[in-house]
Structure 1
């Protein structure tokens, strides 16, 4: 038989040894965990804090503003990053939400996603530098819409972010 044992034979051998094959639930869980392994844990160590600013965002004239700060110190990449053992530069990022019922819900969800390491990752940019970037959850990093579109007004933003977070398993 040599080294060409199939995984099916491996399960069969385990069964003969009294351990039995993995259940369908376990096989599915293992497959899902393998598929999404890269999505969890790639976020560098950092801190998320927020304060309330007594000013409104465009499109939310009667609400204050939640200012969220993300702070990542300089660090060394792990095996979950593009170049393990290599240093990377830290980053400070500020995001904004309206301070209303929906904005507070999104803030709680973003906090959960941050703690589950789902918001940021290290990736290699066009210049070949490894930088901290957002994953698939967009953040409003400007209070007003500039050329980048990362600001307000944006009447669909809170709904869109809640859906993306829900799709990522954050509820």
Structure 2
């Protein structure tokens, strides 16, 4: 479900400020709107253009619709293991998330519709504590909205037309370079999810 025109209230007496999107005055001849939920002001054409790709306030990120992504068909499998732990969380078990994507053909939402893409298998880890379980809940919502992966060019291999992460960071080791300890990871990934309207 996307944003609605009723989310934008025309302001006939706009504040003496700049539009945060185009950085030009709100006092000119352009139509100025106030967002109904957060009361931030923008040029109408600027914010409607913004909402086409990300339906959230550019200033405070309050959602004005539900983000959906271009993640291809795959599976997300979760299991918990109590006999080992993420570094930095010695009193808790581990939540293991396994993502699997078969090879497929790109749809109209992908960079090269009709071309094959290479699937992937990825594993990620969370501490099995209250915060880790809540992040898992949010990741499941992001998965259902097709936000976790996409089809594109891999940063690590340079290969095109393959399934890649889509900007929501995951810990792919339970300890070490790409894992834990990382005192701010859980709060960072929560912010990344919130920016996509996942709460």
- TM above 0.5, yes or no, is yes
Q: In the alignment, which residue of structure 2 is the partner of 1:35? A: 53
Q: Distance in 2 between matches of 1:124 and 1:62?
A: 39
Q: Considering only aligned residues, what root-mean-square deviation do their CA atoms show, in Å? A: 2.3
TM-score norm. by structure 2 comes to 0.66
Q: Within 5 Å, which residues of 2 pair with 1:2-21?
A: none
1:167 aligns with 2:187: no
Displacement of 1:62 in angstroms is 0.2
Q: Within 5 Å, which residues of 2 pair with 1:98-117?
A: 98-117=127-146
Structure 1, unaligned runs of 5 or more: 1-21
CA gap of 1:127–1:59, structure 2 versus 1, over 3 A, is closer
1:89 aligns with 2:72: no
After superposition, give the CA deviation of every residue in 1:70-103 in whole Å (9 maximum; x if it has no partner): 1111110011111110111111100000000000
Q: In the alignment, which residue of structure 2 is the partner of 1:132? A: 163
Structure 1 or 2, whichever has the larger Rg, is: 1
May I ask how many residue pairs the two structures share in their alignment? Answer: 146
Structure 2 counterpart of 1:157, from 185, 188, 195: 185
Q: Distance in 1 between matches of 2:148 and 2:159?
A: 22
TM-score norm. by structure 1 comes to 0.77
- The question of whether the paired residues in 1 share the 8 Å contact of 2:153 and 2:164 is answered with no
What SS does structure 1 have at the residue aligned with 2:182?
A: coil
Q: Runs of at least 4 residues of structure 1 off by over 2 A?
A: 22-33, 124-129
Q: Distance in 2 between matches of 1:23 and 1:162?
A: 29
- The question of whether the paired residues in 2 share the 8 Å contact of 1:82 and 1:124 is answered with no
